[in-house]
Amino acid sequence: MSLHNEITRRRTFAIVSHPDAGKTTLTEKLLLYGGAVQMAGSVTSRKKERATVSDWLEIERKRGISVSSTILHFDYNGFRINLLDTPGHNDFSEDTYRVLTAVDSVIMVIDGGKGIEQQTLKLFEVCGKRKIPIITFINKMDRPSRDTLSLLDEIEKVLHIIPYPVNIPLGNGNEFKGIWDRRTKIAHLFERTPGGAFRAPVKTCGLVDQLVQDILSESTYRTVCDELEMIEHVGESLDIENIANGTMTPVFFGSAVNNFGVELLLDGFLEFSPPPQPRQSTDVTVEPESDFFSGFVFKIQANLDPKHRDRMSFIRIVSGKFTRDMPVFHTRTGKKLRLSNSNSLFGCERISVDEAWPGDVIGFVGGEFLNIGDTLCEKPGIVYREVPRFAPECFAYLHNPEPSNYKRFQKGLEQLVQEGLVHIFTKKNSPDKNVLLGAVGPLQFDLVQFRLESEYGAVSRIETTEWKIIHWLDTKPIEATQLSLPHKSTLVQDCNGRSAILFERDWQVRHFCENNPSIVLFDNFYNDKVPDVSVAQK
């Protein structure tokens, strides 16, 4: 197949949601409908220690949440679908953001009973900034839900994006019997299957068909007709361009656990989501159809699978065809390397990959020098600036209670820092030998401890601190004596030797600025190679 055909048949996306809205369940069900698994492992069985395909890391199984992202892919109706799982816990916005740099669209799952929750809002903002097309799935319609119009209204008012309901639910809660597809004017009536393990049988008919009127109560039927009339009269018409630029979202309703509406969502998703999109290099836009391979590292993870204790860098292909063993430039260092140990992934399974195309994600084993955000390209000079780093919002000391374990402790910690799981800081001229960690959310500290112990055999102890705000100074090292530091704030250095100050409260930052008028504080500090993204703040 030609490069053009391979690109147009690819869809690379992520599912995002507030925890518990049904992201994991929907992932399973898309795999079921995509034919990638025969029977969906229900979330209930996950609780009985059978992980879902995407939810495999041990800590995830123990806690029943997704903390690290996985890559899944399947073929459906001639399309190659790459699904990048995002962590569901709101602690992990940094990792989530990185995944969003590697996708071309997202499916946003909303709980129909709860509407837009805090994390949905946060994720929507991130998608908005990246102008990613968003396809909305309003889930759990089998439970008592908010009414259809108010859910659509909320999307418009709270998220400032125009909803286009592709379908509407026929009832909700116990009365949820099916879905009305507005464009085909077909009602899809579902039958429940035990545990939702198999595809739900569907009957189709018109809205005025006796079958629909029999299956719905009189009042539900009337409500559906009223809602529909309202939507047809006042709703916006479908605008593909606005969907592509993220200002309109096609909305689908359903119940993932019962498989209701999943197939309609999948088919609609393929229609509305774009194929692999171009990415911006320093001064050029690189089109997927360019005749050279290029991509960027958006995630690094070691010990992905206990059977393979190695380090994998996940590369999103931006342009050209990838072939195993091809020589590429590592733009940051100018080194040339061969991508010989390349893999495609399906959950925790890895299969070696000989060729891949724009939109695909390959896992490259080895490459200890690769960092998150690095560009790999067949020709020199291409630098993608897709992957930012976020400032930590919590800080903790990590103690090693067993000095005899020092080497293992150190090795594990170095690896986890390279993966971007946590930031590491040292307190300048301090006799304090303990490691100071910074993370976007406190769950990352648990994950560090868990992984140090399970993967490196190093037990550790966490001591949380009150610092919540970090601001960097300019790049040259600064002595604490040169500054007037507010009480309880402290001067630290990051792993690149840059000075930063940790504060507990906003007023301390203001106090610092007043007492040190010549010092400029920075909100964030990205790695050396992308210096201009730092936001200067007075």
List of residues contacting ligand G4P (CB under 6 A): 17, 19-25, 43-44, 88, 139-140, 142-143, 255-258
- Rounded Cα distance between 452 and 408, Å, is 8
Residue with token string 């430039």: 329
Instruction: Compute the distance between CA of residue 53 and CA of residue 60 in angstroms, rounded to an integer.
Output: 12
Q: How far is the CB of 134 from ligand G4P (least distance, A)?
A: 16
CA gap 194, 252 in Å, rounded: 23
The token pair at 149 is 């119009």
Shortest distance, CB of residue 240 to ligand G4P, whole angstroms? 28
Given the complex with ligand G4P, which of 21 and 339 has the nearer CB atom?
21
Give least dist CB 265 to ligand G4P, A: 12
Cβ 202 to ligand G4P, closest distance in Å? 16
Q: How far is the CB of 140 from ligand G4P (least distance, A)?
A: 4
Smaller CB distance to ligand G4P: residue 90 or 341?
90
* Spatial CA neighbour of 101 closest among 6, 14, 9: 14
Closer residue to ligand G4P (CB): 178 or 392: 178
Tell me whether residue 21 or residue 458 sits nearer to ligand G4P (CB atom). Answer: 21
CB closer to ligand G4P, 44 vs 323: 44
The residue (of 120 and 415) whose beta carbon lies closer to ligand G4P is 120
Identify which of residues 261 and 412 has a Cβ nearer to ligand G4P in the complex.
261
Write out the two tokens for 533.
């993204």
Cβ atoms of 342 and 362 within 8 Å: the answer is yes
> Closer CB to ligand G4P, residue 141 or residue 243?
141
The token pair at 479 is: 């002595």
Q: Write the CB contacts of 291 (distance below 8 Å, at least 6 apart in sequence).
A: 320
DSSP secondary-structure letter at 342? E
How far apart are CB 178 and ligand G4P at their closest, in Å? Answer: 14
Q: What angle do CA 519, 520, 524 make, to 5 degrees?
A: 135
Q: How far is the CB of 143 from ligand G4P (least distance, A)?
A: 5
Nearest to 138 by CA among 162, 163, 158: 163
CB nearer to ligand G4P: pick between 26 and 302: 26
Smallest distance from ligand G4P to CB 109, Å: 6
Q: Which is nearer to ligand G4P, 51 or 417 (CB)?
A: 51
Burial classification of residue 481, based on how many CB atoms lie within 10 Å of its CB (0-12 exposed, 13-18 middle, 19 or more buried): exposed
Query: Helix (H, G, I), strand (E, B), or coil: what is residue 428?
Result: coil
DSSP 380-427: TT--------PPPSEEEEEE-S-GGGHHHHHHHHHHHHHTTS-EEEEE
Residue 142 Cβ vs ligand G4P, minimum distance, rounded to whole Å: 5
* Least distance (Å) between residue 79 CB and ligand G4P: 24
Smallest distance, Å, CB 141 to ligand G4P? Answer: 7
Nearer to ligand G4P, 136 or 490 (CB): 136
* DSSP characters over 16-55: EESTTSSHHHHHHHHHHHTTS-SS---HHHHHTT---TT-
Read off the tokens for 271: 């229609």
| 174 burial level (CB within 10 Å; 0-12, 13-18, 19+) | exposed
Q: Which alpha helices (DSSP H) does 367-442 contain, by range?
A: 406-418
In whole angstroms, how far apart are CA 398 and each of 298, 358, 402, 423?
26, 40, 12, 12
Enter the tokens of residue 75: 């073929």
- Tokens 């170095």 — which residue? 414
From the CB of 257, what's the least distance to ligand G4P, in Å?
4
Closest CA to 523 of 512, 534, 533: 534
In the bound state with ligand G4P, the residue whose beta carbon lies nearer, of 43 and 520, is 43
| Sign of the C-alpha dihedral computed for residues 509, 512, 518 and 521 taken in this order | negative
| 3-state secondary structure at position 204 | strand
